[in-house]
Amino acid sequence: MLPLASKGNQMTVFKTLIVEDSIFFRQFLKEALHAEFPNIEISEAADGEEALQKVRNFLPHLVFMDIRLPGESGLEITRKIKAQYPDISVIILTSYDLPEYREAAKKYQANHFLCKGSTTKENILALVKSILSERNIDRNDQKPGELS
């Protein structure tokens, strides 16, 4: 069973939003997350406007955010999310590992920065596990290998 995020005495399933205009990368990420965390709730958005709607309605714990999106940039959407929901963790994803993108990600309050071309599935899953751990996840109902 997927680790649960705890809020007081109430337990909630960990929710993730994938904001990515490439359906192929969204599918890859979704499949990788479901393989490691079978009960994770995942929602998807292809652009910034849809992402902001999903954040309001779905209230994810974690957002994977592509920098280059149709309409507003992922950095601007990240700024808006963090202004209203500072506890949501945001991982910036980009195909362009440029120092100015890393700086901008920090400026817009993203929690993490990953380059699609050099990041492995294992690195992504390890980062998600560390985020789960930081959020005081209930470890009693885990399958072996989920979190140690």
Tens of pLDDT, residues 50-100: 999 999 999 999 999 999 999 999 999 999 999 999 999 999 999 988 999
Query: Is residue 89 domain-resident?
Result: yes
Contacts with 104 (C-beta within 8 Å, 6 or more apart), sequence order: 75
Orientation angle between helical segments 99-107 and 74-84, nearest 10 degrees:
20
The whole-angstrom separation of Cα 2 and Cα 9 is 17
Which amino acid belongs to residue 54?
K
**Residue the block writes with tokens 């959020």:** 135
Domain annotation covers residue 145 = no
The pTM of the full predicted model, rounded to 2 decimals, is 0.85
Q: Is residue 147 part of a domain?
A: no
User: 101, 109 in Cβ contact below 8 A?
Assistant: no
Q: Are 47 and 21 in contact (CB under 8 A)?
A: yes
Whether 29 shows a pLDDT value over 60: the answer reads yes
Kindly tell me if the per-residue pLDDT of 146 is higher than 90.
no
Q: Give the pLDDT band (50/70/90) at residue 12.
A: low
Question: Domain tally for the chain?
Answer: 1
Position with higher pLDDT, 145 vs 103: 103
pLDDT at residue 76, rounded to an integer: 97
What stretch of H or E contains 20? Answer: none
Cα torsion at 6, 62, 84, 92 (round to 10°)? 150
Whether 74 maps to a domain, the answer reads yes
**CA dihedral sign, ordered 103, 107, 112, 115:** negative
The residue range of the domain holding 61 is 4-138
Least confident among 12-21, 38-47, 57-66, 139-148: 139-148
Write the CATH number for 87.
3.40.50.2300
Q: What is the mean pLDDT of the chain?
A: 86
Name the pLDDT band for 13 (thresholds 50, 70, 90). confident
Alpha helix (H) residue ranges in the chain: 23-36, 48-58, 74-84, 99-107, 121-134
Placement of tokens 């280059």 in the chain: 68
